[in-house]
Amino acid sequence: MRRHLASLCAAWIFLTRIPLPGVSLEERDFVAAPGWYPLVGLALGGIASGACYVGWLIGGAWIAAIFALAATLLATGAFHEDGLADLFDGLGAPSRERMMEIMRDSRLGTFGAAALFVALALKVTALAAMPMALALLALPLAHALSRLSAVAVIATSRYARPEGIAKPVAAGISRQALWLAIATGLVALGLLAAVHGIAAAIAGLVGLGMGHGAARLFFERKLGGYTGDCLGAVQQMSEIGFYLALLAWL
C-alpha cells in the first residue's frame, strides 16, 4: 500500500506543479506512476470544473471556459501544451536527429506557436459551446481519458531518446499499472454513459481515439517512437478530440 501511495504521489508530482511537501520518492515510484496518470487527470479536471463553474457564475459560458483552461494551465505549468508546441516545431525538420534537437530547444517557434494557439482556441470554443452541465462533467473525464491515451503510447511504443524527462517510463509500463490506468478510464467512460447515455460515451471514445491516432501520425514514423513532448501532444489532441466528439454527438 505504501508503494502504491508513493507511485500516486510520483504521478501527481510529475504531471502537476502543485507541491506535496515532505514526500520522499524513489526512481521506482516514477516508473510505476503512469498507472495513476488518469486518476491525476481526473483530479486536475475536477479543479478545472470548479474554475469553470465560478467563471460561469461571473460571466457565462465563455468566461467559464477561459477559467477552466487557465486553471489547468496553472495546475500543470502548461506541461502538456509545451509538449504539443515542441512537437509541431520539430515537424518541419529534415531528419530525425534535427527533429529531436528542435524539440529539445526551449524556444517557441512559429509552428509550435500556431499549434498552441489552435489547440487552446479549440478547447475554449468547445467548452463554451457545451451546455454547462455537460462541460462540468466533460472536463474531469477528458483529462482522465486523455492521460490514459498517453499511457497507451507508453504501452505500445518505445522511448526514442537516450535520456530525457520521460526516461523513467522508457522501459514501458507494467501490466499492473496498465490495468490500473485502463480501469480508471473505464470508470470515467461509465460515468459519462450513466449520465448522458451510451451514445455519448461511444462518441467521446471515438473522438479520443481520433485525437490519439492523429498525434501518433505526426511523430511515430519520423522518430520511431515517442518522447516526453510526444506524450504531451497525445494528451492535448486526445482531450480536444473528446470535446469535439461530444459536440458532434449533441
- CB count within 10 Å of CB 176 equals 11
Spatial separation of the C-alpha atoms in residues 40 and 47, rounded to whole Å:
11
Mean pLDDT of the residues in the chain: 92
Amino acid identity at 8: L
Residue 17: per-residue pLDDT = 94
Per-domain residue ranges of the chain: 2-249
Residue 172: per-residue pLDDT = 74
Residue 226: φ, ψ to 5°: -130, 160
The pLDDT of residue 201 is above 80:
yes
pLDDT digits (tens, 9 = 90+) for 162-188: 665 555 666 678 889 999 999 999 999
Give, for 91, the enclosing helix (H) or strand (E).
none
Spatial separation of the C-alpha atoms in residues 227 and 81, rounded to whole Å:
14
C-alpha cell of residue 204 = 467521446
Spatial separation of the C-alpha atoms in residues 193 and 170, rounded to whole Å:
34
Instruction: Specify the higher pLDDT residue, 236 or 110.
Output: 236
pLDDT band at 108 (very low <50, low <70, confident <90, very high): confident
pLDDT band at 24 (very low <50, low <70, confident <90, very high): confident
The pLDDT of residue 160 is above 90:
no
Compute CA distances 149 → 56, 62, 84, 201, whole Å.
29, 27, 14, 15
Spatial separation of the C-alpha atoms in residues 224 and 46, rounded to whole Å:
35
Residue 168: per-residue pLDDT = 62
Nearest to 238 by CA among 141, 176, 146: 146
pLDDT digits (tens, 9 = 90+) for 55-72: 999 999 999 999 999 999
Instruction: Specify the higher pLDDT residue, 138 or 30.
Output: 138
Mean pLDDT, range 191-219, rounded to an integer: 96
Spatial separation of the C-alpha atoms in residues 177 and 77, rounded to whole Å:
25
Q: Is 177 exposed, middle or buried (0-12, 13-18, 19+ CB in 10 A)?
A: buried
